[in-house]
Every structure is written in C-alpha cells, then in structure tokens.
Structure 1
C-alpha cells in the first residue's frame, strides 16, 4: 500500500522509459504520473503510479500539478513542429504556482543538441549546435529550464540521452528490410544506452543529481552506425545490411532517417560517475551476448 509519508514524485511522460522509472521509484516514493489518456490509468496503476489526467498542450488541464510533488521527472518530448518547446513552457508555468513545492527537476534531453561534429568527441562542456528542428526544440527546453530552475530554488539535472536500445528496440526490421548503411569511410559514429540502464540512471539522478548540471547519459562506446547494425545482424543470424555511399543513401531514405545518419559525434560520459550507478551494459556487445544465451 502507498504511504502518504513517502516523498512525492511527478512523472511527466510515461512511455517505455517512464514506465520503467515509475516501477522502480514506486517502491520508495509516492509516484504521480501525468497522462492525457484515461485508457492508460490501469497500466500506470499496475506499476505503482497514481494517474493524473492532463495534457501538456492544454495548459488549462494541468491545474492538478500545482504543488503536487517535490521532485519532477520530465521525459515528455516537445511538440512535433516549431523551434520552441511549448510543452515545457506550459509545465513550468503551472509548477510555479501553488507555493512552488518543486525542489528538484530531472529533464531527459537528447545528445542531438550537440549537432554534427563529423566524428569529433563531445562532452557536456561542448557548446550546443542543433541542426534539426527537433534538436532546436530540445535546446529551447533546456534553456527554458536552466533560466527557471535557479530563479525558483529548483535543483535541475539534465540528462542528454543518445539512441536507446532494448530487446524490443533493436533495428531488426530495418536490417530485415535491407535498408543500407553508409560505407565505412563515410559512416557516422552513433551513441547508445540500454533502456534499463537509462531508467536506473534517471532514478539515480533523484538522489545524486547535482544542481544545474548536465550529464551525458550514454555508455561512452565509440561505435559507427553501420558496425552497430552488423553487430545486431550477427547476433540474430541475419544478413548484414548492404553498404552504400552517402550520395545514394540520401536519395532512398526518409529525410528524418537521413538526418540521423549524417550526424556523427563521439559522446563522452565522464560525468556519469556522479550518479554512482555502474551500467549493466557498458557496450552493445555485452547486451547482445546476454540475450544471445536466451535466443
């Protein structure tokens, strides 16, 4: 049974990672979860969360959030268009009311804010240089929160997350459909984090996140995208994807997929030790070896 004496956490965004986080934190916290769909209420209750009906796109529906929790975990992505994240703006407007009970906010951003570094290394000190609209919306969200948090006595931790993988989040469909990868000489570096590890890092930030701090929540492995696809293909006994030059691939893949494929950066994770949570899967290979025993 939930105890009213437990510290309160409000989850904003309850997709796959949010559900994993809620399940872990409900053991030690009273977890509230914002959802715009009543049909998800039972699913949220099953992981120990208390559903709150509201929609970040409709500020008038968020009144229940005011003064509700001391800690906020914000996983919700921005809306799909524009350069600004209006959802984050709507959230902090309501959180600023009701005596501002918030003392800690953890925002889940993306390493896409760094832009294309043509294979160069980046750290949390690297200036952001977003090149896609979705990355620009994330930068806007980060800047909005970084201005708001210290002005309201809120300890803000930003986790910048790369590509998330899990058994049900591997590029198997892409490999089976023979979608090509880039030639090795033109291939981009990609960065990863396993989903359970990410959920554990988010939970750790509740306890160990430093105020006004950015952390790259990635495994730190330096792997090119095509090599990642080859690793997955080999683990599942599939043919490796064909390799083509960038000029040909750009013509045959969607603009969104191409925007991911052309950005290359090696994201460092030296600050991850601040969260005092070693990764279960420090490389994709370790994960694939683990699941291959059960295939």
Structure 2
C-alpha cells in the first residue's frame, strides 16, 4: 500500500531535485526545497534548520566535498531529531570503481577509485545511520531537456570518441523523479537502488542517434588515444573506468518500468518537447 502524501524536504533543487519536487507537488505532497540563494516560492534557506522539524520525507541531491556531505556538516543534530520516515540519497554509480566492463548489481560491494567517489561512499554511509527507511540511489549519467547530446551538437562540443566496449548507463531526469516518488511512497529500506536505464551504451552511439534525429552529420570519429591526450582530468576519470550497471532488482523493488528505457526513447521525447509535438510526461 502506498504511503499517504507527506511533507517532503529536498536538499538541493537542481536539475534532478527540481523535477522530483514538481512531480511530488503534482500528486499532493507538501514540498520544500533548500536553496543557497534568495528563496522563492516553495524554497527555504539551506542554513535554516526549521524545515527539518516537520519533514517526514527527505531527498538529498547535493554532492559531498572535501568537508563531507554539506547537509551533515550543517544540520547533523536537526537530521537526527527530525521525524523522518524515509530518506533518499542521490549518489553515483562511480562508487563501484573500474570493473573492466563487467556487470555490477545492487548487491555488488562498492570499490571507489576516484576521490570524489570515495567521498560519495562516505556520504552514503552517513545517511544510512539514520533510524528510518533509507534508499541510497546510485545514479548513472543524467540527461534530459536542456542537458542532452542535442545541446552538445548544437553548440559544437559533441565528440564521437571511439572506444569499443566502453558502455555505461544513463537515466532520463524524469525517470529519476518517478523513481524517487515510487521509493518514498513504498519505503522498505535500507536499500541500494540503481537509477540507470536498461541499455548501457557507448557515448558515441548516443551522439550518432541525436545527430540522426536532428538530421545533421555527426562529428567525425575521434580515436580514443587522440581524445585522451586532450581530455581534462575530470574527463579522464570518466573514461578511465568501465562497468555495466544492472537495474533488475531496483525496478522490481519499486514496481516500476522506465518511461525511457534507453537513450533512444529519451532523445525522441526531448526533441518532441522542443518542437512542441507533446510534452514528455513525468
């Protein structure tokens, strides 16, 4: 049975957090979103502990830094005292490190290699200390309207790097929102959930499909060795790891199928929305 809509506090109303907030409000949740800027409607200052006193559900989207998770650094006492029934933490599949292209599922032990992934795992473990249902949601590459291969093609930054077998999972922003809603309406924590689509794919194939849909030529193929010499350290950390993240247990736990099971459906929906041919439903 689904939980009654409660009071949801979202720590960080960015790209994914904003979509989750909109979907939760649409189905009757009372939602507040923290901000470090001047608060607008439905927003509260990040430094204000008052919203924690009434929150029954909490979604944390902000990444940790060298000082740790920002919510725990500022609000540890408020978090422990809050009347929380459920917490969702958006983490990253990067906590699995490099698996040489092998598959990982929700039961695979993490083995982070990059400093930021080590920080993510430490943050996961902080959130898991709360005495309520906690869902650690390890997210793949996020894309959606305004953040897709279409935008890269249009601004001339798209690259078709050729590294056969380097496939990874991605997830449409609106499927993240749907997964968060399903998780908090059916808490059964602690759980590890994988927010990745059904088809890990090489990045060049996504660029090629986006170019096909736009009716333009894709950028020329770029051998991986040549691309590596021009990459930033951040890009090298991405291309230096390879794993296939499975999601079967997650979809079974949430009773959910993705609206966009691969990049193909997701790209088509984004383009249709841009062209006014129908707004992709959340």
Decide whether aligned partners of structure 1 residues 125 and 6 sit closer, same or farther in structure 2, where only a CA change above 3 A counts.
closer
Match of 2:278 in 1: none
Unaligned runs of 5+ in 2: 276-282
Let me know the Cα RMSD of the aligned residues. 2.3
Match of 1:218 in 2: 196
Decide whether aligned partners of structure 1 residues 87 and 242 sit closer, same or farther in structure 2, where only a CA change above 3 A counts.
farther
**Match 2:59 to one of 58, 73, 77:** 73
Q: Tell whether the 8 Å contact from 1:73 to 1:106 is kept in structure 2 after alignment.
A: yes
Matched, 1:110 2:65: no
- Offset of residue 105 of structure 1: 0.7
Unaligned runs of 5+ in 1: 55-60
- Offset of residue 291 of structure 1: 4.6
Match of 1:137 in 2: 119
Cα distance in 1 for partners of 2:6, 2:158 equals 47
- Offset of residue 77 of structure 1: 1.6
What's the CA shift string for 1:229-262, capped at 9, x where partnerless? 2112222223223333333212112211222223
Matched, 1:251 2:229: yes
Considering Cα pairs closer than 8 Å and 6+ residues apart, tell me whether 1 or 2 has the greater RCO.
2
Match of 1:267 in 2: 245
Cα distance in 1 for partners of 2:6, 2:157 equals 49
Matched, 1:30 2:30: yes
Decide whether aligned partners of structure 1 residues 119 and 103 sit closer, same or farther in structure 2, where only a CA change above 3 A counts.
same
TM value normalised by structure 1:
0.82
- Offset of residue 161 of structure 1: 0.7
Decide whether aligned partners of structure 1 residues 66 and 208 sit closer, same or farther in structure 2, where only a CA change above 3 A counts.
closer
Decide whether aligned partners of structure 1 residues 241 and 287 sit closer, same or farther in structure 2, where only a CA change above 3 A counts.
same
Aligned with 2:146: secondary structure?
helix
Alignment of 1:1-295 (within 5 A): 7-26=6-25, 27-38=27-38, 40-41=39-40, 45=41, 50-54=42-46, 61-79=47-65, 82=66, 84-97=68-81, 100-146=82-128, 148-149=129-130, 153-175=131-153, 177=156, 179-185=158-164, 187-271=165-249, 272-292=251-271, 295=275
Cα distance in 2 for partners of 1:248, 1:255 equals 15
- Offset of residue 154 of structure 1: 1.0
- Offset of residue 173 of structure 1: 4.6
Count, aligned residues: 268
TM value normalised by structure 2:
0.86
Q: Tell whether the 8 Å contact from 1:197 to 1:279 is kept in structure 2 after alignment.
A: yes
- Offset of residue 220 of structure 1: 2.2
Cα distance in 2 for partners of 1:136, 1:259 equals 13
- Offset of residue 142 of structure 1: 0.5
Q: Tell whether the 8 Å contact from 1:52 to 1:64 is kept in structure 2 after alignment.
A: no
